[in-house]
Chain A
Amino acid sequence: MNPESEELYPIAILIDELRHDDVSLRLNAIKRLNTIALALGHQRTREELIPFLDESIDDEDEVLLTLAGELGEFTEYIGGPQFAHILLQPLENLAAVEETMVRDKAVESLNKICPQLSQAQLEQYYIPLLKRLTLGDWFTSRTSATGLYACGYPLASPASQEDMRKSFGQLCADDTPMVRRAAATHLGGFAKKVGKEHLISDIIPLFNKLAQDEQDSVRLLTVTDLVAIAEELSPEESKAYFLQTLKSMVADKSWRVRYMIADNFVKLSKAVGEEFTREDLVVAFVRLLKDNEAEVRTAASGQVPGFSELIDKDTILNYILPCVRDLVTDTSQHVRAALAMQISGLAPILGKEATTEHLLPLFLQLLKDEFPDVRLNIISKLETVNKVIGIELLSQSLLPAIVELAEDKQWRVRLAIIDYIPLLATQLGVEFFDEKLGALCMSWLGDSVFSIREAATVNLRKLTEVFGVDWAKQTIIPKVLAMGTHPNYLYRMTTIFAITAMAPAVTPEVIRDYILPTVTNLVSDPIPNIRFNVAKSIEALIPVLMQNPDTVPLVDQQLKPALVKLSEDSDNDVRFFSQKALLPVQ
């Protein structure tokens, strides 16, 4: 070989690249590892590259992480599945390093390679690897091992399956909580693979042991296992095996465990079957709804509609609703917010009558909550209730509450309601809005607090976006323009603000026919405040008009003369703002 080809030798290049000081360059080198493999060809990748990676890599975690990911996709570069076991060696090393991310990635890659192995490869290479990791001195390799059982199990011979179950049992009883946690995390996945007979004889005892672990971090991870195992069993079996465990979990002294139960309650109920749910879970659920830790109540509130779907109506009315009623006045705002988000989901389940009778009062109470998120959540889900009880009934009970809030003495409360108006309008439709809320929106324009007036003008623009320009032309614009002749100059100012805010949302024709005449009228207003706001408004209108070729001439015909007139005003500010507006058009 000549010296040039020596340099082109792929592994030499890789070594070179891996010797860089700059981590990002080494990272790039590893990311493009398949180029090297491609240049080497299958055989030499197997014989040279993989052993090299196996022994000589000692790098930053970031580089190792990338390597672990790359190796999972490497089967095609080493000659296909019949050689896939060669990748196990370097991945085994990576699965034992200290950094969690690297280990997890290595486990992920191993799980990708595992299904490609033949049974012979599995027995000869994979299972021994599993054993070595399971018996590793450091907890790192043992934690990695827990993630590898589920994948290899279905392929293994019955004898090795027996072994695998035993060694998984060992991991569940490990001295360190880290390994027990990992075992608890992967128990559910493993349980799904072992078949029913062994599930009952081997896995359930393991589960029971972990569920009673002294560490609450281990116990809380078993909740998802419970769901996974219960899905494999028939309802009677779940009841026989889990009733006791479930009871003790709901009453666990660590709130984190109770939280996990509450958070997974619907999944759990679906997994254990209807009968069990009706007979025993209702009591447990009620208990969680009354938990003395707010986080648990929040999680449980989130499950209310999902759980109610699984039980009959009487049970909801007798057991669940009283709790919900208590939660509406809960001391924690997060609980109330979670409940407000979910409570409307109960309406379709309860039907029209029960909703009107039981839910509406709760609705109205939540609507008056002092915490804005609660109100927002309840308003954003009105559509569901609307479908059940119809707009008539809803508006009858809802409207008084909204009107009351809209006329509240506190301007912050009024402001809060204005923010929700566009959302309400989308949910309830144009007819309802015109009839009931239209006047309300207009009255805000004449509010004594500026912030309310300002919010009301923005609100008009949003409504125009929701209901369309034609609607605005008929309903809003005439009323707004009528205010332009109001004796109080503050009202006239509101008109200017409103049309400026709405201009981007309406069509050029509307601006030409309705807005421009009003603006040009106000140019000669006696109050200087109005005049310079007209100048500002014109400044905002110009770009809108410039966008459409039909209205471009209007700028020169109407707006420019108006501005020129204003720029010769006797008031300083009027001159300033009109000259500023004139600048871009000259």
Chain B
Amino acid sequence: ERDRNEWDIEKAEMKARIAFLEGEKRGVDNTKLDLMKRVKMLEFALRQERSKYVEGN
């Protein structure tokens, strides 16, 4: 009986841990997406600045 309980508790803890890690992973993925967008945005801005600079010359 006691072993069974312990096993249940352990299982529940593991599940909670998996859920936590999955959540974290999702969060990190989303952040990465956002960061990629920002990098693209900066690349775009840089390209525009550069073309302006070339035109100016």
In the bound complex, how far is the Cα of B34 from the Cα of A318, in angstroms?
73
Q: Which residues of B contact A8 (CB under 8 A)?
A: 37, 40-41, 44
Interface membership of A38, Cβ < 8 A: yes
Report the count of interface residues on A (CB-CB < 8 A): 20
Contact B30 A13 (CB under 8 A): no
Contact A39 B27 (CB under 8 A): no
Interface membership of A25, Cβ < 8 A: yes
In the bound complex, how far is the Cα of B35 from the Cα of A36, in angstroms?
12
**Smallest Cβ-Cβ distance to A12: which chain B residue:** B41
Chain A 11-41 interface 0/1 with B at a Cβ cutoff of 8 Å (1 = within) = 0010011001010110011001001101111
Chain A 21-65 interface 0/1 with B at a Cβ cutoff of 8 Å (1 = within) = 010110011001001101111000000000000000000000000
In the bound complex, how far is the Cα of B27 from the Cα of A378, in angstroms?
54
Contact A10 B30 (CB under 8 A): no
Contact A22 B44 (CB under 8 A): no
Residue from the list A22, A24, A25, A32 in contact with B38, Cβ < 8 A:
A32
In the bound complex, how far is the Cα of B30 from the Cα of A29, in angstroms?
12
Contact B45 A10 (CB under 8 A): yes
In the bound complex, how far is the Cα of B34 from the Cα of A28, in angstroms?
9
Contact A25 B42 (CB under 8 A): no
Interface membership of A5, Cβ < 8 A: yes
Q: Which residues of A contact B30 (CB under 8 A)?
A: 20, 22, 25
Contact B44 A25 (CB under 8 A): no
Given A10-B41, A10-B45, A39-B41, CB of A29 within 8 Å of CB of B27: no
Chain B 16-43 interface 0/1 with A at a Cβ cutoff of 8 Å (1 = within) = 0000000000010011001001101110
Minimum CB–CB distance for A49 against chain B, Å: 13
**Smallest Cβ-Cβ distance to A24: which chain B residue:** B27
Q: Which residues of B contact A36 (CB under 8 A)?
A: 38, 41
Minimum CB–CB distance for B2 against chain A, Å: 28
Minimum CB–CB distance for B14 against chain A, Å: 24
Q: Which A residues lie at the B interface, using CB under 8 A?
A: 5, 8-10, 13, 16-17, 20, 22, 24-25, 28-29, 32, 35-36, 38-41
Q: Which B residues lie at the A interface, using CB under 8 A?
A: 27, 30-31, 34, 37-38, 40-42, 44-45, 49
Selected A-B contacts with CB under 8 Å, 24 pairs: A8-B37, A8-B41, A8-B44, A13-B37, A13-B38, A16-B37, A20-B30, A22-B27, A22-B30, A24-B27, A25-B27, A25-B30, A25-B34, A28-B34, A29-B34, A32-B38, A35-B41, A35-B42, A36-B38, A36-B41, A38-B45, A39-B42, A39-B44, A41-B49
